[in-house]
Structure formats: C-alpha cells, structure tokens
Amino acid sequence: MNSDVKSLLTDLQKINEDNTISIKVPSTNKKASFKLINVSQQKKLLTSALEGFDGVIKRTNILNSILFDNCVNDVEFLIVDRSAVLLALRKEIIGTDITIKDTTYSLDNLEPFDMSSIELASSVEYDNIKINLKVPTLKIDTEVNSKIEKEFLKLESQEDKIKRSLDLVISYETSKYIESVYVGEHTISFDEISPYERRIVVDNLPLALNNKILEYIEPIKKAIDNTLQVADEVVVEIDASFLTPD
Amino acid sequence: MIFNVEVELPSGKKCRVRELTNREYLTLIKFAQNKDFIGLTAFFEDIYIEPHLHIFDRLYLLIYVRMIYIDSSITLNLDSKDIDISLDTLLDKLEANYVDLEKKFKENNIEITLDIPCLTYYNQIEDLYISTIKCIKLQDNVVEFNTLNKTDQQEIINHLPASIFNIIKNYIIDIQDNLLQVNLIEENKTLGVQNLDVNILNNGVMQFINSLYSTDLKGFYTLIYMFQNTILPGSNYFFEMSPIETQIIVNAHKKRVSEENKKLQNQNQG
C-alpha cells in the first residue's frame, strides 16, 4: 500500500469516527454511537438481492454485521435491536421518507420498540422436559444464520432449496431462542453445542413442547413487526435496498 | 523487443500496443469460442489493457488490435452475400460518439471525480458503479483510484460513506444515454445492413469483442498444419508471427503455387 493510500485511509477513518450518530438501543434502553454505513457494506447488501434464497439469509448477517462493526460502544445486541438501529441509520443517511408501492410514508410515524411487550426470558415444560428460553443475541443469530447459509449451499437446485428451506429455517430459528434443555437429570446448555446439534435437539422435541416454544417466540416477532408497521397493513421491509434511496 | 505501435484513444490518452502472436491468438480463439467472457477479459487485461483506461478506450483499443494484427475488416454474411466492413470505420464511429462525462462532487469534504467506468466486464452491477471512481481528494491527499490494485481499492471502499454510492448510482443513471447504445455500424437498407449498437452498461463490450475475435478453431489448426508442413517445414516460427503476417505469407505462397501450376500447365500444353 503506497503512502498516499495510507494517508487517505487515515483521513477517511477520522471522518467516519467524527461522523457518528447516537441511537437508542431498545434492549439496553441506553444510547450508543454508530458510524454511518460505508460503500462496501451497501454494496454487499445490494448484491445479496441477486443471490436468491442464499441471499436472504446472507442479508440478515450483513445487517447484523452493520450493528457489530459500526457501533463504537461495547453492546451485546439482541435481535430486537436490529430493526431499531437500522431504521435510525436509514433516517440519517436517506431521510425519514420511504416509498412503498408508490405511496410515501414517514418513518417518524413508527412506534418505538416496546420492551415491556415481550418476555426476555421464560421457560416451558412438558412431561419431564424443561426448556429455558430467552431472546437471542445478535451473535447467536449470526452464528445460526451462517450455518443455515452453509446448509443451503449443499442444496444444489433452487427447487430443493424451496422444498427444504422452510423445515431448515423453522428448526434453526426455534433453536436460537433456547438457552438450555433439561431432560430428567440431563442438561444441555445450548451455548456449549454447535448450531447443527441445536437443530437436531429441536427436531427431536415433542410437538407439544415445540408449540409452547413457538408461543413464546410469536409475541417477540409480533413486537418487532409492530415497530415496522408504518400504516394499516403496510410494513417497512428491511430488504437489500433498505439503505439505498428509493 | 516485441514490435509495438502507438495508438491514440478517444479520451486523448496514448498507449502502445504490442504485436499479437499466433500463440496468443490461439488462446484468444479458445476463450472466444467458449464464450468465456471472464477468461477473455483476463487475457486482454494481461496483455493490452492498462487499469486506468475507461471502457470506451478499452473497446477502441481492442478493435484496434484486431484491425492491425489480425484483419482490417469484418465480414458480415447477409442473405448469402459477404459484406466487408472496415474496422477503421468502426473506430471512426467510436471517436465520433465519444463524450467527456467526467464529473466532480464533494461529500463530507471528500472530493470525488467520476468518469466513464474503468472496467471491461463485470459480474455485479455494483462493480460497474465502483469503477466510475477516478480520483479521490481529501484535504491534501489525492489518490488516483482507478490506478490502484484491487486490495487498495477495496480498503478505500470500506471507508467511504455510503452516501457516495448513492451519488454514483445517480451518475450512472445520468450518463446511461451515452453508454446504453453506442452505434458502431449504421443501418444501410440498400445492402441490408442493420444498425449495430453496443450496450456498454450491460456487458455489451465483451459480447461484441468476443464476436470480433471468434473464428473457426478447426480452420486455425488446419492453418497451423499447412504452415508448419508446407510453407516453413520444421520451423516453429508460425507461433511467433502475428495472424496478419501469417496471412500475407500464406497469400504469397498461394500466389507462387498458382504461378508454378500455370507454368507447368503452359509447359504441358506446349
């Protein structure tokens, strides 16, 4: 790398450090400083739109990495923080207006995330099985998504991907919310096993117990969706072009 | 030293293009026959294309190479009639079509100069956008972005604010009229020739260049066989010559054979 490039990078780094915005992180209820997104992050995001099913999973991780890489403070993000931070970044970069199906809405009309509407941790039981549940961190979300991405790559045809994606995604998605499983005297801590092993455990749970886990997850998902509902039956989609002007 | 000639490109830049050998031409034909645009691009970028040249200059340069080292015309077969089109005319058209599209803007104190994309072929439209960045100036630092290697370019991209990408996107929209349909051959109803437009924003350059360099591979092997066994037996000189030189020698050989045959015929008749 020549000295001109090094020197330009130093100056650019300084601009990025000076150019931060303060965003309230719902899970901590505190403000954190975020650098604005860069060209490379935007390029990765836009490219994910061209990668079909693989791109959808990849995109979530690209969005997660924006939170990790651009946050100046040390924060352990939960999945409920993602949309709040990305909405604030979009407002700063592009503005408050968003056009959905030819109608323009203001992002300022969105309700902030209500932490009191969700349970951060809970437990469910069935027969002699007890499961501790919690809202997953973005770190867990990223780790499991990476595994789903790899599993998708093994499926060669788009047809296979369509057929198997639902099964795969549901099992992996459920596993993100499990902290530990107690069966009689045996305990499995999900922090200590791989994403694949987590999925196998989920796939072997009794259906009744699985339904109880889904009952825990549903209001969390709903609370996230509510923060993206800009008008009746109109939801802001955080897709590949979310951080690009309409 | 390998023979080379100087060429002045539509942008006004000058560069020297070295002679294309038959050995290289054989590789080229294989890429062209396979329609391997990535391989073909890598081949040309290795031998002829300097990184700072924009796509308009690149197109001009590759037509020029074809003209001076392979053949000065292309043959269109229309209704079983062969119509020769001079590549010189194509180059004149390109020069006439050339418009200076350089644009400067400032964002967060970063001054960026954009110009016609500096690339030959791309897989993702975003790469086309990035390739429009010509120069970046921040305080006293000036970096000629399009002369940097890929690693340094990526490092800078990782630090540029995304708002710049949006300006680049708008720049591409603004200049697309100048790049969507670059006319190379005008319609001639009398000869039945249709307009030939190259779409620069849609990888049209490599598709056109591919068709320009594509030739019958079997025919080329027959030429190698004939040359090595009949014209210069036992010599490997064929691979060091340019295709156009080969053609001149083959024509001279054919002329001599034809004259000798005529002489023999006259002797037999006498």
Specify the number of domains making up chain A. 2
Q: Does B172 contact A at CB distance below 8 Å?
A: no
Same domain, A101 and A155: no
Torsion of CA A50, A55, A60, A65, to 10 degrees: -80
Axis crossing angle, helix B55-69 with helix B204-213, rounded to the nearest 10: 0
- Region A151-155: what's the mean pLDDT? 81
The alpha-carbon gap from A236 to the nearest alpha carbon of chain B, in Å, equals 20
- Region A51-67: what's the mean pLDDT? 87
Contact list in A for residue B165 (CB cut-off 8 A) is 39, 42-43, 244
Cut 0.80: pTM above it: no
Same domain, A131 and A199: yes
Q: B236-250 b/e with 16+ CB inside 10 Å = b?
A: eebbebbbbbbeeee
Same domain, A180 and A197: yes
Q: Does A230 fall in a domain?
A: no
Q: Does A13 contact B at CB distance below 8 Å?
A: yes
Q: Does A236 fall in a domain?
A: no
Return residues 147-166 of B near A (CB < 8 Å): 148, 151-152, 154-166
Return residues 99-128 of B near A (CB < 8 Å): 108-110, 124, 126
Q: How many CB atoms lie within 10 A of CB B108?
A: 15
pLDDT band at B78 (very low <50, low <70, confident <90, very high): low
Same domain, A109 and A124: no
CA B110 to chain centre: 34
Handedness of CA A53, A54, A60, A63 (dihedral sign): negative
Q: Does A232 fall in a domain?
A: no
Same domain, A109 and A135: no
Taking 70 as the threshold, does the pLDDT of residue B269 lie above it? yes
pLDDT score for A229: 93
Q: Is A156 helix (H, G, I), strand (E, B) or coil?
A: coil
Closest residue by Cα to residue B185 from B121, B120, B92, B116: B92
Q: Does A43 contact B at CB distance below 8 Å?
A: yes
| Boundary (domain end) residue, out of A76, A97, A113 | A113
Contact list in A for residue B151 (CB cut-off 8 A) is 1
Q: Name the CA radius of gyration of chain B, rounded.
A: 23
- Region A229-245: what's the mean pLDDT? 87
Contacts of residue A235, defined as CB under 8 A and 6 or more positions apart, other chains included, come to A225, A228, A229
Higher model confidence: residue B54 or residue B196? B54
Same domain, A35 and A105: yes
Q: Which of B126, B138, B162 shows the shortest C-beta gap to A38?
A: B162
Axis crossing angle, helix B150-157 with helix A39-48, rounded to the nearest 10: 100
Same domain, A105 and A161: no
**Most confident among A108-117, A152-161, A171-180 (mean pLDDT):** A171-180
- CA count, 13 A, side-chain hemisphere, B181: 6
In whole angstroms, give the CA distance from residue A75 to residue B23.
60
Same domain, A103 and A161: no
Contact list in B for residue A16 (CB cut-off 8 A) is 159, 161
Contact criterion met (CB < 8 Å) for B159 and A13: yes
Contact list in A for residue B152 (CB cut-off 8 A) is 1-2, 5
Quote the mean pLDDT of chain B.
Answer: 89
Same domain, A84 and A23: yes
pLDDT score for A224: 92
- Region A204-229: what's the mean pLDDT? 94
Contact criterion met (CB < 8 Å) for A244 and B160: no
Q: Is B235 helix (H, G, I), strand (E, B) or coil?
A: coil
Structural domain boundaries, residue A54: 3-113
Taking 70 as the threshold, does the pLDDT of residue B156 lie above it? yes
Q: Does A237 fall in a domain?
A: no
A106: phi > 0 → left, psi -120 to 50 → alpha, else beta; which?
Answer: beta
- Region A198-205: what's the mean pLDDT? 93
| Boundary (domain end) residue, out of A113, A144, A176 | A113
Q: Which of A1, A5, A20 to mutate to test the interface with B (most CBs of B within 10 A)?
A: A5
- What stretches of A73-144 adopt beta strand conformation (E)? 97-100, 103-106, 121-126, 129-134
Same domain, A70 and A140: no
In whole angstroms, give the CA distance from residue B18 to residue A72.
52
pLDDT score for A68: 96
Which residues are registered as beta bridge partners of B76?
A: B83
